[in-house]
């Protein structure tokens, strides 16, 4: 069972997956993983899955497509929606945000140290393109910053807005709440995160689940990309992998 909410990338992904398996071995649904429990029931897997793998990152195809508006490196419409058919675009959200609310988003979603300065400058403003927004962010940054530091600041703002636009933390929290009910006894789950806020939520669930007996084992240390993996794919550098195994006997509320 494969889930993806992106109506554009899911088509290419399904084509690729089906080249490696029999037709009856793969079920693909276009939906957010926050609806996993319902999807399992719908296909008759009410007892849960043996293995669950959740990749919380954006894909390179999304970042590299200027029309999606995820990256400031390519000029395009300021959108950022995983599902362009739902919700507010980044442009629409930014127009509605107060400086106080945007500052909170920048701090929670990107650990941005200059959140107040940036929020005061861009909250409530209208930017049709990614280049327009990145230019406005750079304009308020201190002159002493070098190009790499400026790029990092812009990247954090874009990340924070993307997480807010797609309500990524809300979806993750919903997924994590239902996760124990989606695994068979003895089943295993692995979650790949790319942001400290994601990793913190996963770590707390696994730690608390181990303490209460929901999980019989979790990884001792977070698993990170090797030097060679980072060399082959620099975008893998922030990735963290955590896993857990559900107890054979556990009573869930």
Query: Can you give 142-167 as a three-state secondary structure string?
Result: CCCCCHHHHHHHHHHHHHHHHHHHCC
- Per residue in 89-100, pLDDT (tens digit) is 999 999 999 999
- Per residue in 41-53, pLDDT (tens digit) is 999 999 999 999 9
Question: How much is the pTM?
Answer: 0.89
pLDDT for the residue 241? 97
Confidence of residue 127 (pLDDT cuts 50, 70, 90): very high
HSE (side-chain half, CA atoms, 13 Å) at 62 = 20
pLDDT for the residue 222? 95
pLDDT for the residue 231? 93
Least confident of 60-64, 149-153, 166-170, 213-217: 60-64
- Per residue in 19-42, pLDDT (tens digit) is 988 989 999 999 999 999 999 999
41: three-class secondary structure by DSSP: helix
Confidence of residue 251 (pLDDT cuts 50, 70, 90): confident
Region 105-118 average pLDDT: 94
Backbone torsions φ then ψ of 230, nearest 5 degrees? -65, -35
pLDDT, mean over the chain: 94
Region 232-239 average pLDDT: 91
pLDDT for the residue 74? 87
Rounded Cα distance, 141 and 113, in Å: 11
pLDDT of 76 > 90? The answer is yes
pLDDT of 188 > 90? The answer is yes
Closest to 141 measured CA to CA, from 163, 113, 162, 100? 113
- Per residue in 133-149, pLDDT (tens digit) is 999 999 999 999 999 99
């Amino acid at each position: 069972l494969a889930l993806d909410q992106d109506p554009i990338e899911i088509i290419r992904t399904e084509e690729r997956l089906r080249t490696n398996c029999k037709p009856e071995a793969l079920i693909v649904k276009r939906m957010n993983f926050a609806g996993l429990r319902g999807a399992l029931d719908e296909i008759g897997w009410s007892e849960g899955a043996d293995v669950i793998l959740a990749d919380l990152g954006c894909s390179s195809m999304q970042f590299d497509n200027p029309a999606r508006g995820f990256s400031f490196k390519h000029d395009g419409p300021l959108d950022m929606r995983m599902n362009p058919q739902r919700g507010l675009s980044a442009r629409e959200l930014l127009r509605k945000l107060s400086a106080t609310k945007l500052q909170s988003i920048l701090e929670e979603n990107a650990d941005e140290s200059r959140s107040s300065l940036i929020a005061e400058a861009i909250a409530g403003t209208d930017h049709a393109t990614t280049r327009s927004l990145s230019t406005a962010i750079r304009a308020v940054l201190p002159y002493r910053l070098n190009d790499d530091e400026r790029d990092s600041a812009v990247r954090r703002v874009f990340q924070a807005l993307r997480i807010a636009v797609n309500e990524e933390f809300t979806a993750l929290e919903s997924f994590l709440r239902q996760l124990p009910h989606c695994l068979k006894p003895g089943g295993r789950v692995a979650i790949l995160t790319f942001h400290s806020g994601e990793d913190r939520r996963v770590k707390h669930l696994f730690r608390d689940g181990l303490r209460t007996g929901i999980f019989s084992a979790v990884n001792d240390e977070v698993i990170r990309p090797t030097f060679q993996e980072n060399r082959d794919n620099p975008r893998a550098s922030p990735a963290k992998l955590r896993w857990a195994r559900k107890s054979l006997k556990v009573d869930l509320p």
